[in-house]
A = this chain, B = another copy of it.
Amino acid sequence: MNGKSKTFDMELFFRALADRTRLRLLHLMGSDEVCVCFFVEILKTNQPKISRHLAYLRRADIVGARREGQWIHYRIVEPADPDAQRILKDVISWLANDPEMQRDRQRLVKICCAPQLPVSIQGAPRPSSFNAHVN
């Protein structure tokens, strides 16, 4: 009630989900923090496009960002509204059934488990859950 965190905006929430690219981004985040450059690498598209979609998700309070040096990590945040929270959770698990989404994740895993990241994202920090795997 501080004038900034108003009641959760349903329309904005659904509009944010109404785009395939954004759904792919959400699926890639899953329960991890993922760095922007990984999205660019895996979706094989240009960086501004990814950045704009992430901004949209941020505006809708669906994701949050954390800076680490020059890199920025994005993560899914639990919506304030418990109903939205449940829906988002269901959406995420729905995505897991989509073939393209599955391919996306496979590519993420493959890239992150490899001893060397692709040249385009050499020094980038891996998603948190991959830190343990590769010394």
Contact = CB atoms under 8 A, between A and B. Distances in A.
Interface of A: 10-11, 14-15, 17-20, 23, 81, 83-84, 86-87, 90-91, 93-94, 97-98
A134 B45 CA distance: 60
Most buried by B among A19, A84, A91: A91
Contacts of A14: 14-15, 17-18
B83 A94 contact: yes
Chain A interface SS verdict (over half)? helix
B94 A87 contact: yes
Nearest to A81: B94
Contacts of A98: 10
Nearest to A12: B18
A86 B93 CA distance: 11
B86 A90 contact: yes
A97 B18 CA distance: 22
A15 to B, nearest CB: 4
25 contacts: A10-B20, A10-B23, A10-B94, A10-B98, A11-B18, A11-B19, A11-B20, A11-B23, A14-B15, A14-B17, A14-B18, A15-B15, A15-B18, A17-B17, A17-B18, A18-B18, A83-B90, A83-B93, A83-B94, A84-B94, A86-B90, A87-B87, A87-B90, A87-B91, A87-B94
